[in-house]
Amino acid sequence: MNNPSLVKHIRDILILPFSVTVIIPYLIYDPLHVLVSNYIVPFKVFGMVCGTAGFFIFLYTVFLFRTLGKGTLAPWTPTQKLVVAGPYRYCRNPMITGVFFILLGETFFLNSVELLQWAGLFFLINTTYFHLKEEPDLEKRFGDEYRIYKKNVPRWIPRIRPYEGNQST
């Protein structure tokens, strides 16, 4: 199993999460449409904390895809192994959760109605994609290993205790 090159990882990050968290928010942000009229500093701080946490969750999951999964985050260069380590022991989609937290961080930091709407649309698009495309594809690629994982690990709301099933190493 060859691990995709660093260039492929960077390409896929720029095409997908960079577009979602930087390009689209830049294009839709309107400072005149505020989320809260009496904006206070704690919202900005919450936005920074949420966005930073999301960024680090995202980075860690990309690292796991590269090192354990032998693939990238993009569906055109999928992982060769099922990743069931780190945050994947708590929920099935921590990478998207990280991106969602980045979007929420931007929403609160910039006090933006449009960014909140975009974060909601992003969540709905991904939930639909996972249900209709990604999860059936993972079942075909990884069979019972994925079905058992899917049965024991929720899609979005993290488990309290980490899943102890087969862990990618």
Every domain of the chain and the residues it spans: 6-21+35-152
Residue 118: pLDDT over 90:
yes
- pLDDT given for residue 8 in this prediction: 83
Residue 168: pLDDT over 80:
no
- pLDDT given for residue 63 in this prediction: 94
For the stretch 136-159, pLDDT in tens is: 999 999 999 999 999 999 999 999
Q: Residue 122's Cα: distance from chain center in Å?
A: 10
What is the mean pLDDT of the segment spanning 91-97? 96
| Per-residue three-class SS string for 123-155 | HHHHHHHHHHHHHHHHHHHHCHHHHHHHHHCCC
- pLDDT given for residue 20 in this prediction: 96
Nearest-angstrom CA–CA distance, 61 and 157: 17
This prediction's pTM: 0.92
**pLDDT category, 169, cuts 50, 70, 90?**
very low
Residue 56 amino acid letter: F
- pLDDT given for residue 167 in this prediction: 58
Residue 166: pLDDT over 80:
no
- pLDDT given for residue 11 in this prediction: 87
Counting residues of the chain whose pLDDT is more than 90, the rounded percentage is 76
On average, the pLDDT of the chain sits at: 92
Residues in the chain: 169
Q: Can you read off the two tokens belonging to residue 93? A: 């989609």
Nearest-angstrom CA–CA distance, 57 and 62: 9
